[in-house]
Copies of this chain bind each other. A is one copy, B any other.
């Protein structure tokens, strides 16, 4: 069972997390006193948040490993995300009162979690606690970052066939790199998983495109050909 965990959080750890980035160890006690987080420990396979709940706090993994699980109408389970120390969860729901959790959060290993009430994060308290601004900035940045990643992935996946998905992804990577010559952070299987297609079919399509002169590649290095072919 879960217990009200002791607040054994190192400031050195906290200041490196996405949420508390930019605050110094000296500032953290004040900030923490103000946002008043609660701490809880969870046993392996224990539920942290249940699908259908209306949450008002965001969570941060302090130690262990936490999974986001989705269960459909017929009870089929699907692991949406794997979270580790420093990762934040529930932030998409906590600021939307009345929006019920579509997922469950479960401890994949014995884990410690920090929960912060959404109102405490947004309400401006004493003027001494101006670190709030930084916190909110970090939160907005995280949300925006997640948003961009989702939009980008969606834009590839909305293409109707494997070739177009590939071209969309590679075009995007080329843009990121600022060059028609670039490296991708995936191997073939990972790329196929990311684009939600079959690996061998994808590999096949890549080679066809190479044979047609659209691009060349070598392992994870790609080169897009923009010039007109004769």
A73–B155 touching, CB < 8 Å: no
Select one of B73, B80, B136, B171 contacting A122, CB under 8 A. Answer: B136
* Residue A148 lies at the interface, judged by CB distance under 8 Å to chain B: yes
Instruction: State whether A171 and B140 are in contact (beta carbons under 8 Å apart), knowing that A153-B154, A157-B196, A196-B158 are contacts in the complex.
Output: no
* Residue A130 lies at the interface, judged by CB distance under 8 Å to chain B: yes
B96–A145 touching, CB < 8 Å: yes
Instruction: State whether A144 and B174 are in contact (beta carbons under 8 Å apart), knowing that A153-B154, A155-B80, A158-B157 are contacts in the complex.
Output: no
- Complex Cα gap A193–B96 (Å): 27
Assembly stoichiometry (copies):
2
B144–A144 touching, CB < 8 Å: no
- Complex Cα gap A163–B153 (Å): 21
What are 22 pairs between A and B in contact, CB < 8 Å? Answer: A72-B168, A73-B180, A92-B144, A95-B137, A95-B140, A96-B148, A99-B148, A102-B175, A122-B136, A122-B137, A124-B132, A127-B127, A136-B140, A143-B143, A147-B147, A147-B150, A150-B150, A150-B151, A153-B154, A157-B196, A158-B196, A160-B196
- Using a CB–CB cutoff of 8 Å, the interface residues on chain A facing chain B are 70, 72-74, 78, 80, 91-96, 99, 102, 122-124, 127, 130, 132-133, 136-137, 139-141, 143-148, 150-155, 157-160, 167-168, 170-172, 174-175, 180, 196, 224, 226
